């Protein structure tokens, strides 16, 4: 079974829902399983104050989740046109993986949610790609054969799925946004399967 890590931060739930839909797309591909993980909020006192296990939802990610995964979908809400600090904080703790080249050659993709239509979805997606390139991951987006990219009136980009959650951060995912999340999960999983077949794993 190929395990693909779906790693995200979400405060109001939109990015979390996207993660669930990407995970479902992954599990539509035979032989692939999604491992869903999140990261804790960062502490203003610079010391960890939260429990190691969240009160609800997925477990917090550890370095081994990244080391063990066959592929990665990384998601964050947009914060001032960038990824959220808790996810950046987690990624900043992955130097040991970088030193050992543990993520080189693994396929990866990114997703985000904003409140406003032009509030920085693409910049956030790209901000998440940058550390993945440093890790040597094979970063992929969505092709325009996914027709939702052309018909969407809200989120959805060739750089990765996105959602426009509205000023109250409570707008549900549109049909296109849902479809593009699912398509990304499937694409990532299909790529993992093809690559692992090529290496005989
Ligand atoms: C500190 C902060 C900065 C934000 N910056 C942006 C932004 O630059 N553009 C935008 O459209 N929304 C911005 N938002 C709104 C979130 O991106 C939006 O509510 C998102 O859907 C939340 O995702 P979540 O439900 O997964 O937490 C910001 C929210 C916070 C708290």
Ranges of residues in the chain whose predicted pLDDT is under 70:
45-50, 200-201
pLDDT of residue 199: 73
Which residue of 57, 58, 79 sits with most ligand 1 atoms within 8 Å of its CB, as the best mutation to test the pocket? 79
Integer Cα distance of 80 and 63 in angstroms: 27
Gap from CA of 75 to ligand 1 centroid (Å): 13
């Amino acid at each position: 079974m190929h395990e693909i890590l779906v790693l995200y931060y979400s405060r109001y739930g939109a990015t979390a829902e996207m993660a669930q839909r990407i995970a479902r797309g992954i599990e539509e591909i035979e032989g692939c399983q999604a491992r869903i993980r999140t990261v804790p909020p960062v502490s203003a006192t610079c010391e960890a104050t939260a429990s190691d296990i969240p009160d609800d939802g997925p477990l917090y990610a550890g370095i081994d989740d990244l080391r063990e995964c066959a592929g990665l979908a990384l998601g964050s809400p947009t914060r001032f046109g960038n990824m959220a600090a808790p996810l950046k904080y987690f990624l900043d703790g992955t130097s040991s993986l970088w030193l050992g080249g543990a993520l080189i050659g693994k396929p990866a993709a990114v997703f985000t949610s904003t409140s406003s239509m032009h509030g920085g979805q693409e910049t956030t997606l790209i901000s998440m790609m940058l550390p993945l390139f440093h890790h040597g991951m094979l970063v992929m987006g969505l092709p325009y054969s996914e027709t939702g990219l052309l018909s969407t009136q809200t989120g959805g980009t060739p750089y990765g799925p996105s959602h426009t959650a509205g000023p109250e951060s409570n707008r549900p995912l549109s049909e296109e946004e849902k479809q593009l999340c699912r398509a990304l999960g499937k694409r990532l999983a299909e790529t993992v399967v093809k690559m692992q077949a090529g290496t005989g794993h």
